[in-house]
A = this chain, B = another copy of it.
Amino acid sequence: MSKYSIILGNLGNTCDRFLSSGYKDELPKETLIRQASEIDGVEGVELVGTWDVSMDTVDTIGGLLEKYGLRCASIIPDHFSQKRWGRGTLSAKDPDIRNQALDYTFECVEMARRLGCDTLNIWPGQDGYDYVLQSHLVRERNWLMENIRKVAESAPDIKFALEYKPKEPRNFSFMARASDTLLLAKETGLDNVGVCIDTGHAFVAGENVAESVVILQEYGRKLFHMHFNDNYGAWDDDMIVGSVHFPLYVETLFWLKETNYDGWFSMDQYPYREDGQGALRESVLFLQMLENKLTAEVMEQIRDLVTTGDAVKSQRWLRETFFK
Whether A247 lies near B244 (C-beta < 8 A) is yes
Task: Specify which chain B residues have a CB less than 8 angstroms from the CB of A169 in the assembled complex.
Answer: 16, 18-19, 272
Q: Which of B85, B86, B130 contacts A239 (CB 8 A)?
A: B130
| Cα distance A130–B172 in the bound complex, in angstroms | 25
Asked if A81 is an interface residue, CB under 8 A from chain B, the answer is: yes
Instruction: Tally chain A residues at the interface, Cβ within 8 Å.
Output: 111
CA distance in complex: A171, B236 (Å): 10
Docked-complex contact B306 and A134, CB < 8 angstroms: yes
Task: Give me 19 A-to-B residue pairs in the complex whose CB atoms sit less than 8 angstroms apart, sorted by A's number.
Answer: A15-B20, A16-B16, A19-B80, A19-B81, A19-B86, A19-B169, A133-B250, A133-B317, A134-B305, A134-B306, A138-B218, A138-B259, A141-B211, A141-B214, A240-B315, A242-B319, A244-B247, A274-B310, A282-B312
* A interface residues (Cβ-Cβ under 8 A, vs B): 14-24, 80-83, 85-87, 93, 125, 129-138, 141-142, 166-169, 171-172, 176-180, 182-183, 187, 204-208, 210-211, 214-215, 218-219, 232-235, 237, 239-240, 242-248, 250-251, 254-255, 258-259, 270-275, 278-279, 281-282, 285-286, 289, 302-303, 305-319, 321-324
